[in-house]
Amino acid sequence: MTLVCNLGRRDYESVWRAMSHYTDTRDGDNADQIWCVEHEPVFTQGQAGKAEHLLNTGDIPVVQVDRGGQVTYHGPGQLVVYPLLDLKRAKVGVRDLVTALESATVAMLAEYGLAAAPRADAPGVYLTEGPRAGNKIASIGLRVRRGCSFHGIAINIDMDLAPFLRINPCGYAGMQMVQMAELMQPVPGWNQVAEIFVRELLRTLSLAEADWQPVDESIFKRASAPEQGTEEQETSNG
């Protein structure tokens, strides 16, 4: 059983603490969850992050996080999806999950007439047609602990992209970011994009369709600062 939750708009650190806590305390009986959220403006820097990729962060906070990879930006108008999945139980590898997140994004964009694809040299999803071909529209950063995944994917829908100019996105100088709002009118609603993306992700991972339910707020109340676990893997954010 998979629970899908719309968390609305929340600050990054409280969600990070909650998903980390859920990962560290869950057992084989706990349901997989997929969280969809918008974050207040924040830069997140992975464990291997280099200060040289933070160019001029200004008044936007920088949070050091426990995923792999470099720096990225989250803000209102961006769909962030966190798959909290028991990969061992589902018999899904880390690479399989990355591929599924990319494939679900490509399928979702195709429903809106936008052509995109992943790149072998840098995780994420990039436009493949039109004047913005090669620009990045979705970034991925995962962590696996105790055989379970957290962190996830960020898809640019209708947001202020200017903060990306204050960093080298995902550690790539000059990386050009793009969003759905620059490619189509009218701009699809955040909820609609989330529903299509989650549907495609469940299909790609061969998981049963799931109902959208309110998130269990007790997870947030019980959450404490993330602790280092065992059996960890990471993928670079991209």
List residues with catalytic annotation.
Answer: 170
Of 166, 68, 182, nearest to 133 by C-alpha is 182
Half-sphere exposure of 212 (CA within 13 A, CB side): 13
Evaluate whether 220 touches 7 at the Cβ level (below 8 Å).
Answer: no
Instruction: Retrieve residue 108's tokens.
Output: 């979702």
Alpha carbon distance 149, 86 (integer Å): 7
Type of residue numbered 121: D
b/e for 194-230, b at 16 or more Cβ within 10 A? bbbbbbbbbebbebeebeeeebeeebbeebeebeeee
CA-nearest of 67, 16, 41 to 219 is 16
> Taking the CB of residue 77, how many other CB atoms lie within 10 A of it?
16
